[in-house]
Each structure stands twice: as structure tokens, then as C-alpha cells.
A and B are shown apart, each in its own frame.
Chain A
């Protein structure tokens, strides 16, 4: 079954093909065209952790393609009674054709994929991976720059717990990106990920300084320092508010440079950036719909026609 647990599950060719499919599905994502490609299919939307964009965009994606959605959260289900993930997944396996899972524990998506027959899409496992976010990030980058190849990308903020940057960095180096990893010392990218990125032979620099490379960047990818991942509030307070990107910081930036953010934001990305030509995060959030449509079709083995009428 075509699971998507980490970006390693997709080749570069498959990524590009999926982005092309998402592009064709744009009118369907916007609601301008109705294409019931997934009619009769049921998606299990399993969110054991909070979500706004991922959950809603998967639900919209499924519904705009004519499919049905079952929602499950840990509150109000047997998970709250101590049911194992294995047992919960056996139920989902019987009730749906495909499942999207977000879980606070790392490895939960791979575990689910091993537990059941239906395809599993990882919508975030603890501080692990978030590959469907990466697909919409890549879609947004390609839309702005016309290519994924050879870009200068700054990833900023919580790179230790930030699963979006874990998946995105893996994908970007495969397309020849030069990466600047900007984080407080205590929130640096995990060593095994940096080692994987460097093994691809690409430039990967780690720094604490946000301002130094803004002017040479093609993409600045801001992330929130995630309070919920800190076992100790004092540790959080030490690093909260380390970075604050304002419109003024972008004065010398390339005209084509885009600012992205997986959202939600707290104070690392000031509202003053919203009105600049660089801001791309709200479009980015919308792009979750066409890219997740493409991913649902892929995992369910549904071919998207060249012309979506």
C-alpha cells in the first residue's frame, strides 16, 4: 500500500509528479470544478494531537473529491480509556479506506502502517516527520520560484522539535538546496538529520543568527518555538521570542524571496510582514488542499486525468 510516512517514501520524480497532479487539481481545490474522483471512499482522519490546517485541509480535500470523512480525536474516544494505537488502528482499518494520523508519539505513523492494511498518511508524529506538510511547502516554493532546484533556504526557529523542518530539509537537499539552519543552540536540528543532510553532499550551515543571510535567501521558512514540546516551562521561557521577523528585516531581501510558515505563529513572524510581497504563508496553508488531494489519490490508486473537468 502506498503509505507516506517520511519523504524517503517518495522519489524526486514522484514528488514532481504529485506537484503536477496538485496543480491540475487546483480548480477542484478552490471549488470551481467538482471532480468526484474519490466518491465511495472513506477517509479516517485521526488526530490524537491538535490541528487546524492539516485536519481541515485533508477533510476539504476528501470532500471536494466526493469522498467521505470519519473524524477521530483522542478526547471522547476509547484512546482516552487507554486503548492501544494498535487496537484503534484495527477499528479504523475496518471503517475506512485510508487513514491520516497525527499523534504526539514519534513513530506512531510507521507503527500504524505496520499494524493495518489500508494506506497511512503521516500528518505529524511527535517531533518526527510531517511529509504532507512538506508536499504543500514544495508546491508553494515551486509556485513562487518556478523550480525546486538549487535554492537558498533558511529554516528558522525550533529545528529540534519542528517536524515540518525535518521533512522539508530532507526533501530540499535532494533538489540541491543550500540550507541555512537558524536556531537557538538548545533547539538545533537533531544530529542524525544533519548527518543525513550532509551525506547528500550539500551545503548545510548551522547558526544562531537570523539576520546574516536574509539578503541571499530565496526562501525564509519560519517556525514557532513549540511550548507543548518542552517538558519544562523554564526551558521554554529561555528560548521563546528568540527570533522576530519584521517587515523592516526584509528591506534588503531579494525581490523574489518568499517568507513561509507552517502556522500557527506566535510572535516569531510579525503581522507587518503580511502586507509585504514576500508573505506566502496563507497561500501556503491553502495549498494543503490540492497537494493532499493528489496524495489521497496516489495512496488510493486513483489516477487523476490529465484534464480535470
Chain B
């Protein structure tokens, strides 16, 4: 595999493959890992991929991401493949599930939405209207969100 030439295998942790090229840093942000103090993280960007042309890969050592954390990635990388690695072998494969609603993952982009007031305490909720093609709307104001810009509104 192309990325194996660039990043060594990890002993234990989580490997996220087939991330759309150029988005690995956003994914790291969405995972809300304290990058400065976290476990070792390997990040590969824009490597050739048979399936995708180019892709990013992320490996997080000694940390098994749970399903809730992984589902946060659905907005950017719905088709990423996730492997939980134990003792250098794939112990589990996990899917990223977009679900019906994204709670506190991204905020509505509409400037007049009630959720624009940062003091309002209720969670940000984006409803998934359709997964393919991806269509999401704010659960409060109903505005459709520009899928290409949604990464800019990640919480």
C-alpha cells in the first residue's frame, strides 16, 4: 500500500484510511483530540489511491476511537475506512455512520439563525435530509447547508 512506504505500521490504535484528499487536518479538528498533548499521530496527505485518485490517511497510536467520535467524521469523510489495530493486526473494522442528525458537530452557517448567539445553550443540530447526495439542513431554522463549506463551521 502506498502509504505504508510513508508511515510505519502502528502497534495499537486507530487507522483511518480513504479520507478525501486534503481533509485530514479537518478530521483531526473534528475528533477534538488535544493534538499538543495526545498520543503519537501520523498524518499522510495527498497520497495516490487506486480508488480515490488521491487520499489522506490518519493513524492515532494507543487510542481506539469510539463510534460516537467516528460518526463526527461523516460530514467530511463518509466513506473513510476505519480499522482498530491491536498488536499490529486489524482487530476490528468500523464504519462511519452519518445517522439522521448531527448534534454539536457543526453549526448552522446562516447568519440569522437563532443558534448564532453563542450564549444560547441548546446543542447545534443539523438534520440529514439525504446521504447521497449529501443534503443537510439546520434543525432549527431549516436552512440548507452548503456541503462544500460545512467544514468551515465545524465546532
Contacts and interface: CB of A to CB of B under 8 A. Distances in A.
A192 B137 contact: yes
A126 B122 contact: no
A6 B142 contact: yes
Interface in B98-153: 108, 110, 112-117, 119-122, 137-144
Nearest to A193: B142
Contacts of A84: 117, 119-121
Interface stretch (A107-115, A134-142, A211-219, A249-257): A107-115
B144 A106 contact: no
B144 A107 contact: no
Given A86-B120, A192-B137, A103 B114 contact: yes
B114 A111 contact: yes
B112 A126 contact: yes
Interface string A177-190: 00000000000001
B121 A107 contact: no
B121 to A, nearest CB: 5
Nearest to B110: A106
Contacts of B142: 6, 106-107, 128-129, 192
B137 A107 contact: no
Interface residues on A, range: 20 to 34
A192 B119 contact: no
Contact of A105 (B114, B122, B137, B139): B114
Nearest to B108: A107
Contacts of B144: 191-192
A30 B32 CA distance: 60
A168 to B, nearest CB: 15
Interface string A158-192: 00000000000000000000000000000000111
B115 A107 contact: yes
A292 to B, nearest CB: 23
B122 A115 contact: yes
B112 A105 contact: yes
A167 B121 CA distance: 28
A127 B110 CA distance: 11
A126 B141 contact: yes
Interface of A: 6, 82, 84-86, 103-108, 110-111, 114-115, 125-129, 190-192
